[in-house]
Amino acid sequence: MIGVRNTLATALVALAPLAPSAAQAQEVTLKLVSAFPENSNYVRRLEAWIGNVNSAGKGLLQIEFIGGPKAIPTFEVGKAVSNGVVPMAMNTGAFYTNLMPEADALKLAQVTAAEQRQNGAYAYINKVWREKAKLVYLARMVEHTPFHLYLTKPVSKPDLTGLKIRITPVYRDFFQSMNASMVQTPPGEVYTALERGTVDGYGWPIHGIFDLKWHERTKYRVDPGFYNAEVSIIVNLDAYNKLSGKQREFLDQQGLALESLNDHWNRYNAEETARQAKAGIKTIKFDATTSKRYYDKAYEVGWAGIIKVAPDTGPQLKKLLSK
């Protein structure tokens, strides 16, 4: 034993000059999981961001992408980050309402992410997210993006009686108010549901329906869109607090850099709208009065739903996120 120990000690001394410098020794790698499927445009943007973070963060902080819902199921990702199983995720509030129901309020934002950093919304979100779910809300990477109802059968008015619609918490109160029957699925199960005819439609943002080939099974899009799709980077609070000041500052800055690219969505959404038309997806439009009622109803029942499940934080979130 002594011999082994001595050998080890000698080896360590011999290696000392090759040991990493203090800065390198502090490099931390944070694993990140995506709640969205790997073949989504969100993951493509995420991977580009991670590439930037890792080249700027050499010797300081690295992010290791561990995959999508095959690694951790969509609706479990929030919990996995909250309890520290994975320190980071790309996720949307609707997927972690099991941790804190008000997470889904971010879809109701009518002020931009940049404005939210100015008007106290970002600070409030971070207070609530940290206290209720041990999550740091780092940065929003999707905004300027409405959700729509997509259908395989036409409707002539905002009445979904007799139709079975795929939802997540995002759409539940609104589609319920139009009398839909609903089935909740993660994005990864939408194609099969359409293929088998177990749903007559689904809620989804204006972009991204080509990523998972849903356009093949989609005949109509109902306009107008409603709400503001939110996809963000969240971080486990303990993992965040364990970082050095320099690492935290770096991560915050990288989050801000990601968020500052969100104008992309205005361009991309215009392209995706044109691509849907080209693919033969027809738009269903109601008259002006009905359209306004449809849109206003979405917000009315959306906020009522949030305030009902989160009476302690819902009103303040509404104040900070509404125009």
Burial class (CB in 10 A: 0-12, 13-18, 19+), 206: buried
Of 228, 261, 266, the closest CA to residue 110 belongs to: 228
Report the residue number, 65 or 265, with the smaller CB distance to ligand 173: 265
Binders of ligand 173 among residues 162 to 221 (CB under 6 A) are 168, 170, 187, 203-205
Return the number of the residue (43 or 231) whose C-beta is nearest ligand 173. 231
In whole angstroms, the minimum distance from the beta carbon of 172 to ligand 173 comes to 10
Question: Residue written as tokens 């486990």?
Answer: 236
Q: Is 64 left (phi over 0), alpha (psi -120 to 50) or beta?
A: beta
Q: Are 57 and 224 in contact (CB under 8 A)?
A: no
- Residue (61 or 81) nearer to ligand 173, CB: 81
Q: Which of residues 91-120 bind ligand 173 (CB under 6 A)?
A: 92, 94
268 phi and psi angles, rounded to 5 deg: -60, -40
Cβ of residue 186: shortest distance to ligand 173, in angstroms?
7
Of the pair 208, 255, the CB lying nearest ligand 173 is at 208
Which candidate, 102, 138, 115, 110, places its Cα nearest to that of 231?
Answer: 138
Cβ closer to ligand 173: 174 or 240? 174
For ligand 173, give the closer residue by CB, 92 or 247: 92
Q: Toward ligand 173, which CB reaches closer, 228 or 247?
A: 228
Residue 28 CB, nearest approach to ligand 173 (Å)? 29
Q: Build a one-symbol-per-residue string for 23-62: x at contacts with ligand 173 by CB under 6 A, - elsewhere.
A: ----------------------------------------
CB of 92 to ligand 173, least distance (A): 4
If one asks whether residue 269 binds ligand 173 (CB under 6 A), the answer comes out as no
CA distances from 146 to 208, 213, 245 (A): 12, 20, 37
Quick one: which of 171, 174, 232, 176 has its CA closest to 202? Answer: 171
For the CB of residue 72, give the shortest distance to ligand 173 in the complex, in Å. Answer: 16
Distance of CA 52 to the CA centre of its chain: 20
Which residue's CB atom is positioned nearest to ligand 173?
A: 168
| Closest distance to ligand 173 from the beta carbon of 229 (Å) | 4
Judged by CB under 6 A, the chain residues 222 through 241 that form the site for ligand 173 are: 229-231
> In whole angstroms, what is the distance from residue 230 CA to residue 107 CA?
6
Nearest distance from residue 205's CB to ligand 173, in Å?
Answer: 5
- Binding pattern for the stretch 240-259 against ligand 173, x by CB under 6 A and - elsewhere: --------------------
Nearest approach, Cβ of residue 228 and ligand 173 (Å): 9
Q: How many residues bind ligand 173 (CB under 6 A)?
A: 11
d(C-alpha 48, C-alpha 57), whole Å: 14
Spatial CB neighbours of 117, under 8 Å, sequence gap ≥ 6: none
**HEC assignment per residue over 61-92:** EEEEEEECCCCCCHHHHHHHHHCCCCCEEEEC
3-state secondary structure of 165: strand
For residue 136, give the nearest of 248, 15, 3, 295 by alpha carbon. 248
- Which CB, 135 or 229, lies closer to ligand 173? 229
CB nearer to ligand 173: give 74 or 313.
74
Interface residue list for ligand 173 (CB under 6 A): 92, 94, 168, 170, 187, 203-205, 229-231
